[in-house]
Amino acid sequence: MTVKTRVLAIFSTLVFILIVLFSTVFAYFESVNLKREYEQLSRQTANGLAFMPALSTAITTRDNTEVQAIIDRVRLQANNPLVTVINREGFNVLTEEVVPSSQSLQSTLLFGSYITEHISFQKVEGIQTIAPVYSQTNDAEELVGAVVVQYPQTAINETLEERIWRNVGVGLFGLALSAVGAMIVSKSIQRDTFGYEPAVVASLYQERETLLKAVKEGIVAVDEEGELTLLNPAAEGILAKQELDQTAIQQLGLIEALKTGHSLWDEVRKVNGKVLVVNCRPIGEKGAVTGAIASFRDYSDMRQVKETLEQLQRQSDSLRAQTHEFKNKLYVLMGLLQLGKGEEALAFIIDETNIQHAQTSPLFEKIEDTGVQALILGKMAAAAEKHVHLAVEETSRLFPIPDIPVSDLSIILGNVLDNAIEAAAVAKEKKVLFFASDAGEEFVFDIYDSGFGAKDLVGVDWFEEGISTKGEGRGYGLSNVQKTLRKWNGFIEIKDTGDGTVVSVYIPKWQGGK
């Protein structure tokens, strides 16, 4: 059912019920008032006729020529009642017929009583007034007859029906007006809902609420006064509601969008000390700006995703470099065999096997987590390209880590190993040692590099975004490491050993408080 039909049906039903109720009440009170009105009219008519000298003369002389005309004029003025003039013998003066006797008539003819009553006589119902007629004789009055004025119930009902129908006509006119009003209201509602039916609007509202809760981007909207009207859960997670003051709203570009009507796309802004990527556009109808809406996401989260992808890319490149290196060694081996240098080829194979065994034996024997194995293998190849020796400590022991995904381990260990390799690459002794242990209640990872150490950088906040000694565009690796460790309730320590640097990472095995 459309909104127009629904509103029209509701308005029409209510107005119809009111009309019926009002008409019923009106008919009841009108019937009571009409009876009183006709009772009074019958008394006035009967008394008026009774005091006419012509009527008493007609009774005494039995000459009804003049009185008939008088009665006709009175009837026209008094809603056409039935008028009967009776002498004391009970004859109708106008028709010379005997009038049926009744107790009320006898009381009037004998005692001169004035009587108004409701009658039901010979299947005729109505209101009747009997008034005595006196004749003036010298100084005395003589009772000579009576005049009877009757209003049949049918005549009263006709008057009542006429008044009720007049009232019903007014009600029907009101019903028509209500229908017009209902159509105007329904059009106004449809205009406000852009032509959508209420069921569709409710469905769209539910979809909107679900969408706002589902998206991971923060969404904030303001009205034309700049007051906050919308804040989804993701926005509360990135920026707490109490932080969304007018300054934050302005930093998000919402006020600018309200004033200029221009949009912002993927613009990096600092809001309350947090770096966000903001999209903002005005809300308007027919050229008028009625509000603004902004979506934003944490730039560090994007940076973390980027770092993860870069780590995977570096691992892929390292494996590709290893493949290339092995291919070159196969070419050497093939050349030796073609030259008939079998002993040299066998010696080459033995040497390469010993080197590979020395490099990878601790890795596969001590490290059983496949994700960490793959990461270390990739970093070994990357380190070899920079002439850095990356080795796994013989005392390491690490079983598979089921709870922490490889992507998080790649961010944590990959960034630390990259820093260690870069530090060792510029040192005289190019060495990086990796230690891992799952003894006790924590996973422990120690990465040692033979670089210049951290003694000259005391007081530097290593984990703040953008802080780096390697130039602009760097300084996000350790920041991402710390954020990922916080997710797993872990922490990181950096120590200067005098001949290098040791970075220690601790991650609790049980994540009940995560």
Q: Which ranges of 295-341 would DSSP assign to H, the alpha helix?
A: 299-338
d(CA 30, CA 163): 8
Do 454 and 395 lie in a common domain?
Answer: yes
Number of domains, the chain: 3
Which tokens sit at 175? 């019903």
Nearest to 504 by CA among 452, 451, 434: 434
CB 282 within 8 A of CB 258: yes
* In a domain? residue 481: yes
Quickly count: other Cβ atoms within 10 Å of residue 74's Cβ.
17
Mean pLDDT of the chain: 81
Task: Tell me the sheet residues that pair with 275.
Answer: 270
3-state secondary structure of 112: coil
Do 33 and 131 lie in a common domain?
Answer: yes
Last residue of a domain, one of 126, 143, 160: 160
CA dihedral 298, 302, 305, 307 (to 10 degrees): -110
Mean pLDDT along residues 166-175: 83
* In a domain? residue 312: no
| pLDDT value for 514 | 47
Provide the percentage of residues in the chain whose pLDDT is more than 70. Answer: 86
pLDDT at 364 over 80: no
The per-residue pLDDT for range 51-65, each reduced to its tens digit, is 888 888 888 887 777
Do 76 and 225 lie in a common domain?
Answer: no
The per-residue pLDDT for range 445-483, each reduced to its tens digit, is 999 999 887 665 554 556 666 555 554 545 567 888 888
* In a domain? residue 305: no
Task: Tell me the sheet residues that pair with 38.
Answer: none
Mean pLDDT along residues 96-108: 81
d(CA 157, CA 165): 12
- Residue 115 domain boundaries: 3-160
3-state secondary structure of 194: coil
* In a domain? residue 288: yes
* In a domain? residue 303: no
Which tokens sit at 90? 């009970």
* In a domain? residue 437: yes
Task: Tell me the sheet residues that pair with 443.
Answer: 507
User: Interior CA angle at 331 toward 330 and 337, to 5°?
Assistant: 90
Do 156 and 270 lie in a common domain?
Answer: no
| pLDDT value for 513 | 44
Task: Tell me the sheet residues that pair with 132.
Answer: 146
CA dihedral 472, 478, 479, 483 (to 10 degrees): 160
Length of the chain: 514
User: Interior CA angle at 197 toward 193 and 198, to 5°?
Assistant: 85
d(CA 281, CA 284): 10
Least confident window among 19-33, 215-229, 297-311, 364-378: 297-311
Mean pLDDT along residues 380-397: 86
Do 42 and 156 lie in a common domain?
Answer: yes
Nearest to 305 by CA among 174, 216, 201: 216
Q: Which ranges of 339-385 would DSSP assign to H, the alpha helix?
A: 342-366, 370-385
CATH code for the domain in which residue 246 is found:
3.30.450.20
d(CA 177, CA 285): 32
d(CA 468, CA 476): 8
CATH code for the domain in which residue 471 is found:
3.30.565.10
Which tokens sit at 276? 């966000």
Do 358 and 490 lie in a common domain?
Answer: yes
* In a domain? residue 211: no
* In a domain? residue 179: no
CB 409 within 8 A of CB 485: no
Do 291 and 346 lie in a common domain?
Answer: no
The per-residue pLDDT for range 218-271, each reduced to its tens digit, is 888 998 888 888 888 888 888 776 667 778 888 888 888 888 888 888 888 888
AA letter at 260? T
Last residue of a domain, one of 245, 272, 297: 297
Do 267 and 409 lie in a common domain?
Answer: no
Do 7 and 102 lie in a common domain?
Answer: yes
| DSSP of 120-177 | EETTEEEEEEEEEEEEEETTEEEEEEEEEEEEEHHHHHHHHHHHHHHHHHHHHHHHHH
Do 7 and 136 lie in a common domain?
Answer: yes
3-state secondary structure of 483: helix
| pLDDT value for 26 | 85
The per-residue pLDDT for range 151-168, each reduced to its tens digit, is 888 888 888 888 888 888
Last residue of a domain, one of 263, 297, 331: 297
Do 457 and 375 lie in a common domain?
Answer: yes
pLDDT at 79 over 80: yes
Do 293 and 351 lie in a common domain?
Answer: no
Provide the percentage of residues in the chain whose pLDDT is more than 90. Answer: 12
